[in-house]
Structure 1
């Protein structure tokens, strides 16, 4: 008896999800970039491990961004190990980048989480680098359209959400947009998981209120100038279990 076409298609789709190579997170090998590599010349981009050609081109055209990308890769390593420190799968295999084991080579829940975490981390790092003045191509985020809290006004230097998400997605999604590499099913699944990470990052945006005046005057709203800005909590504090669960519940694997 011949199998129905729909059944065959479903089996092929499932097989594709399980056997796809995780080329999309090989860039995490940047965490091993030696400090001696200055990353101040375009020829340095070819010396970076784990990048596809599109990422090398992004490196050449946005060289000032690469120290931040390297920092993001290192933060992914630490954050993943922290998130799974007390579990059977403890994310130790992430340190083998770019030559992963099967737990991250295939379309597993573990690899899906790493895709989401990586996408969130690089966007977070770029947005923060804009705020701190480390990137000449961007600055503080724009003033939000919604009104601030009662008695306050928008001010200070907010994290540049839009630029961080834009450039972070360009870099981390680049491997999934290479036409000749991998199946379309794998690419769509991994793009979905990367977007889950960015959505969780958007949801974690905080409104930070601080007083731009002498400390004594801040106790009196009429004397202190209270400013609010939208910021992300420092990545070094790690994601909360609630945020981690939000990522896990929306992954495709």
Structure 2
């Protein structure tokens, strides 16, 4: 059972009190699930003692964190879709992916997965906070500005607009008394994502899984930090103009988590330039190298070829994988098929598409069908 199925299993175990079902993509799903420690924490396996305690104290936040890990897995599958290892093994068990063989090793792929998961938890928790789904957090109070002054300005602008309509004048003329915001001038308004809370929860929840001080834990903790930092560095400001006909007499802005695809793109670049840390002895030391400060992913084991199925290292192999006959890179048949050759077949494919992540805690996808000629690794 994959992680997507696990999230649906959590959902099916929830008690919905007085909630009306919502029709999402043809599926009848509960609108507002009521979470308890039992419906979340006892359904998940693979939690450390500290994670289980956190989950019992804050089941709604933990459920958002689980969804963040799922978002990260889907992004991992997108970013490495042309690689021999494409993150598919991270969804194989009905628990968090950290028991996956690849995530227990020190490969370059391990580093990428850890960083993505840490960023995914920040993204999902911050989004849930801003939607009002979590009692322990909400909007970032530091970025609210003077709310009373803002409301007075908005009311004054609205009053001018009403006066113009009452006297039959163009609305644009009535707001001349309200000066248009100068370029670059804006005020805090709306609900800013509480990224600091989300980052702290991500750190506390995921880093607590690393209980040892060996090279594995050092590298995994470092890559978690890289993932969180990439997301926080890409936080962005969304703005709204207030005024008639698209004018901008008043501009309010709020801070949001970045689009997760851009986070994945940045981490893929870091995956490609990750730093190898050689061990100088068998006790987890790092030979002569200082771990970089939250800017580079690090790994300490050379990746296998991932050509053949080897369950002990998390390699599903590439037999049956699609490849591109005309490409020379990772997706090309020569590389993807590891020299075994490929077959060309005509096939009607049914794929998951237009996937949507819904709080909490499920993914709904449509099915897309298409017929095409495919190159398949022998």
State if a TM-score over 0.5 links the two structures.
Answer: yes
TM-score, normalisation: structure 1: 0.75
CA drift of 1:246 comes to 3.9
Alpha-carbon separation, structure 2, partners of 1:186 and 1:31: 29
Q: Give the 3-state SS of the residue equivalent to 2:129 in structure 1.
A: helix
- Residues 18-58 of structure 1 show CA distances to partners (whole Å, capped at 9, x for unaligned) of xxxxxxxxxx9587231212273333423311211111000
Structure 2 partner of 1:226: 251
Structure 1 partner of 2:71: 75
Structure 1 partner of 2:204: 170
- Residues 88-135 of structure 1 show CA distances to partners (whole Å, capped at 9, x for unaligned) of 22111212244423x333111111111111110001111111111111
Structure 2 partner of 1:100: 100
Higher strand share goes to which structure?
Answer: 2
CA drift of 1:247 comes to 5.9
Q: 2:273 aligned with 1:244, yes or no?
A: no
Structure 2 partner of 1:151: 185
Unaligned runs of 5+ in 1: 1-27
Alpha-carbon separation, structure 2, partners of 1:37 and 1:58: 20
CA drift of 1:228 comes to 1.2
1:47 to 43, 49, 63: 43
CA drift of 1:189 comes to 1.4
Aligned length: 214
Alpha-carbon separation, structure 1, partners of 2:220 and 2:244: 48
Structure 2 partner of 1:87: 83
Distance 1:240 1:76, change over 3 A: closer
Contact 1:129/1:135 (CA < 8 Å) preserved in 2?
yes
Structure 2 partner of 1:64: 60
Alpha-carbon separation, structure 2, partners of 1:204 and 1:72: 17
Higher helix share goes to which structure?
Answer: 1
- Ranked by relative contact order (alpha carbons within 8 Å, sequence separation 6 or more), the top structure is 1
Alpha-carbon separation, structure 2, partners of 1:78 and 1:70: 13
Alpha-carbon separation, structure 2, partners of 1:149 and 1:139: 30
Structure 2 partner of 1:21: none
Distance 1:226 1:143, change over 3 A: farther
CA drift of 1:206 comes to 0.8
Distance 1:121 1:240, change over 3 A: closer
CA drift of 1:243 comes to 4.7
Q: 2:241 aligned with 1:206, yes or no?
A: no
TM-score, normalisation: structure 2: 0.52
Structure 2 partner of 1:161: 195
Distance 1:131 1:247, change over 3 A: farther
CA drift of 1:136 comes to 1.3
Contact 2:111/2:271 (CA < 8 Å) preserved in 1?
no
Distance 1:89 1:215, change over 3 A: farther
CA drift of 1:151 comes to 2.0
- Residues 119-166 of structure 1 show CA distances to partners (whole Å, capped at 9, x for unaligned) of 1000111111111111111111134599x9722111111111111111
- Residues 199-226 of structure 1 show CA distances to partners (whole Å, capped at 9, x for unaligned) of 1011111121212x3551x42x3xx321
